[in-house]
Amino acid sequence: MRKVAVVGVGMTKFSGKQDKTAVELFAEAAVDAINESGLKPANIQALFLGNALGDFAEGQAQLQAFVADYIGAPFIPANRYENACASSSAAFRDAFMWVASGFYDIVLVGGAETAAKMGTPLATRTFAMASDSRYEYPCGITFPGVFALLAHLYARKYNVPLEKLKYQMALVSVNSHYYGARNPKAQFQKEITVDDVLSSFMVCQPLQLYDCCPFSDGGSAVVLACEEKARKLTDKPVYVAGVGQASAGNLMSQKDYLPRLRSRELSAEQAYRMAGLTPKDIDVIELHDCFSIATLIALECLGFFEYGKSGEAVEKGETKVGGKIAVNPSGGLKSKGHPIGATGTAQVYEIVRQLRGECGERQVDGAKIGMTDTLGGDGGTLCNIILKRGW
């Protein structure tokens, strides 16, 4: 396998409902990424596009073909990845492998979503399609409902009193908003307090509004190149050091592991092994904080803290920039926003810019190795990417 580098990144501002289509949002991010790489659309050999719900949000299937044409790269092979909230991370992993294999030298990968445009009732319905339509949805399960079930399970399994867990979860959201307030691309650029979280309305007990990421619109894009091309294009290539991906069935079939998500443990293990690294080597992570409890579960499955202990680590400030592991300096899904198909490559965008030292107030000093973590559905898809400075 050849070494593969990120040579350009782009993302739109993430937002609530806005006027552009998913094709247009992706195109804005893609043109920024292509321009940053110094390439032209004609240099792009293939497109890997994450989009989960275009069919429902805009009546638009197969948008990858329209995207390729729209950005001035008509007729290139273009594929869409639907892995729920992990769509563009799955697209990234495949794009990486096509370049690593030697089949392509330069590809474009990214994602776009206009989920906010759907409004809360339809967005809640369509997000629930990533649960099991036969054996879970009839109960009225929702995406926050899944993590609400895991929150109570977590409290019980690790003997954390619910009130204490709720406080730790609130701190996760407070941290997200602290960094989001320092990210001009974030949907919410405003700090919040523990009281704000604990007084917000109940969505799915015990998750309140500020325990939950928003519905968002946005696009993100990354240009990948083989090492030989990357060295000619940039002084600061960011290499893909490791990737991992795993799947899981419905929540019932994961009973031996919950509230751990086994797909995450397996995916992370693959990425660490491929990179020859351990959790201790990671300077900064963008992880899938779709809900506050999801951050605590992720930190443990990724190997940063012991099972049942990540809430205490959050209380001690160990997940802040400057702490043991810098978590979600972009503001994460909670504050930066979660346009689901765009989320994975937006995490890559943040890590690449952190490694290049371009993040201003929220910069993780001297970050050399970063990681992403993206989850789809009830753990149905899990992807991890480890990125490393090439200079």
Q: Pick from 2, 125, 164, 316: which binds other proteins (CB under 8 A)? A: 125
* Cα–Cα distance for residue pair 36/32, rounded to 1 Å: 6
Shortest distance, CB of residue 173 to other proteins, whole angstroms? 17
Phi and psi, residue 16, nearest 5°:
-75, -160
Q: How many other C-beta atoms lie within 10 A of the C-beta of residue 213?
A: 27
Q: Tell whether residue 153 is a contact of other proteins (CB under 8 A).
A: yes
**C-alpha angle with apex 239: 229 to 362, nearest 5 degrees?**
125
Nearer to other proteins, 122 or 194 (CB): 122
* 133 binds other proteins per the rule CB under 8 A: yes
Of the ranges 33-41, 146-154, 276-284, 290-298, which one interacts with other proteins (CB under 8 A)?
Answer: 146-154
**What is the DSSP annotation of 137-171?**
GGGT--HHHHHHHHHHHHHHHTT--HHHHHHHHHH
Residues 250-289 that bind other proteins (CB under 8 A): 250-253, 255
Q: Distance between CA atoms of 197 and 217, rounded to whole angstroms? A: 23
Is there a catalytic annotation at residue 85? yes
Footprint of other proteins on residues 156-175 (CB under 8 A)? 156, 162
Catalytic pick among 85, 226, 301, 359: 85
Give the single-character DSSP code of 252.
G
Site for other proteins contains 330 (CB under 8 A) = no
**Judged by CB under 8 A, does residue 202 bind other proteins?**
yes
Q: Is 128 in the site for other proteins (CB under 8 A)?
A: yes
What are the φ/ψ torsions at residue 85 (nearest 5 degrees)? Answer: -70, -10
Contacts of 59 (CB under 8 A, 6+ apart): none
Residue with tokens 């001690």: 316
Among 19, 59, 75, 134, binds other proteins (CB under 8 A): 134
Q: Which residues of 277-291 are buried (b: 16+ CB within 10 A; e: fewer)?
A: bebeebbbbbbbbbb
Query: Cα 25 from chain centroid?
Result: 17
Nearer to other proteins, 125 or 190 (CB): 125
Residue 213 appears among annotated catalytic residues = no
**Per-residue x/- track, 16-55, other proteins (CB under 8 A):** ----------------------------------------
Task: Give the SS3 label for residue 384.
Answer: strand
By CB under 8 A, residue 142 contacts other proteins = yes
Nearer to other proteins, 144 or 379 (CB): 144
Interface with other proteins (CB under 8 A): 120-122, 124-126, 128-129, 132-142, 144-145, 148-153, 155-156, 162, 201-207, 249-253, 255
- What positions carry a catalytic annotation? 85, 338
